[in-house]
């Protein structure tokens, strides 16, 4: 099975369209969505409509913004820009899209043989995996060999390798236009494909991945898109301009 993996789209329809254009001649059987369809960006309805159109080809978990932007949760931990964006999103989401988002399951969720997805960490959907320590807790929480996660918006891989009874976690940041990662059968992995709609690794290009579980091979891509159009959409919606500006820097 080949999985198209997308995460943290954040209402950025311009970035999502560029990804869909880039992937149009590649084969995939199923989409794994790791949460945060909305929040920050000016095209939340279009993003949710694409996800909904996938029907049974979609395996998805909710993100923290999907909760807050649909009124399922308070914006307690959000800064004022994120809170403003959440209020705007709640007011502007169509009823069907809102209901669909509210019904998204909480991760971790099994997505295939030895494969799972979550938003933040398998431990807690709101936890961030930045360090080897964070990853160790994540590995302990689930039995799956490969877990895809989002939330940090930083493409990265945490590899758990056991040698002579000792477990070692390697951290790898995944940068570049195209990267191929062959997963070793004796290792376990926590992998973040990066963010489609709001990258935060100083590379403004949209990030996504394809995983072929038959050969345990992961392809990571970065796709340029019309950042100016996405920025204009944010400003014209009356959202905080800082949310538009950060897209230009990938921060």
Residues at the interface with Zn ion (CB under 5 A)? 8, 36
C-beta of 196: minimal distance to Zn ion in Å?
10
Long-range contacts, stretch 110-113, CB < 8 angstroms, 24+ apart: 110/144, 111/3, 111/30, 111/32, 111/59, 111/148, 112/1, 112/3, 112/213, 113/213
The widest CA-to-CA distance across the chain, in whole angstroms, is 59
- Closer residue to Zn ion (CB): 8 or 17: 8
| Smallest distance, Zn ion to C-beta of residue 127, A | 13
Strands (E), 76-185: 109-112, 115-117, 146-148, 156-163, 166-173, 178-182
- The C-alpha R_g of the chain, in whole angstroms, comes to 17
Select 153 or 231, whichever has its Cβ closest to Zn ion: 153
> Please, which residue, 98 or 197, has the CB nearer to Zn ion?
197
Q: How far is the CB of 20 from Zn ion (least distance, A)?
A: 19
Considering the complex, state which of residue 85 and residue 159 has its C-beta at the smaller distance from Zn ion: 85
Alpha carbon distance 190, 145 (integer Å): 8
Give the nearest distance from C-beta 36 to Zn ion in angstroms: 4
Compute how many other C-beta atoms are within 10 angstroms of the C-beta atom of residue 228.
12
- Please say whether the beta carbons of 8 and 195 come within 8 A: yes
Q: Would you say 36 or 203 has its CB closer to Zn ion?
A: 36
Least Å distance, CB 29 to Zn ion, is: 25
Q: 36 or 134, CB closer to Zn ion?
A: 36
Spatial CA neighbour of 105 closest among 115, 93, 117: 117
- Least distance (Å) between residue 61 CB and Zn ion: 12
């Amino acid at each position: 099975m080949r999985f198209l993996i997308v995460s943290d789209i954040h209402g950025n329809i311009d970035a999502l369209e560029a990804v869909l254009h880039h992937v149009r001649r590649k084969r995939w059987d199923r989409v794994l969505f790791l949460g945060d369809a909305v929040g920050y960006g000016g095209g939340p309805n279009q993003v949710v409509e694409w996800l909904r159109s996938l029907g049974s080809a979609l395996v998805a978990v909710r993100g923290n913004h999907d909760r807050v932007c649909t009124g399922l949760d308070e914006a307690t931990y959000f800064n004022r820009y994120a809170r403003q964006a959440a209020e705007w999103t709640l007011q502007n989401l169509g009823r069907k899209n809102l209901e669909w988002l509210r019904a998204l399951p909480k991760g971790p969720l099994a997505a295939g043989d030895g494969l799972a997805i979550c938003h933040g960490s398998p431990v807690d959907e709101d936890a961030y995996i930045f360090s080897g320590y964070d990853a160790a807790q994540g590995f302990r929480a689930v039995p799956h060999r490969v877990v895809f996660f989002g939330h940090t918006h930083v493409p990265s891989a945490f590899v758990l390798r056991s040698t002579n009874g000792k477990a070692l976690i390697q951290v790898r940041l995944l940068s570049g236009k195209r990267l191929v990662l062959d997963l070793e059968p004796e290792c376990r992995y926590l992998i973040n494909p990066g963010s489609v709609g709001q990258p935060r690794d100083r590379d403004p290009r949209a990030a996504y991945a394809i995983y072929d579980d038959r050969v345990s091979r992961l392809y990571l891509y970065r796709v340029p898109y019309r950042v100016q159009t996405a920025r204009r959409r944010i400003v014209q919606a009356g959202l905080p301009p800082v949310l538009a500006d950060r897209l230009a820097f990938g921060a």
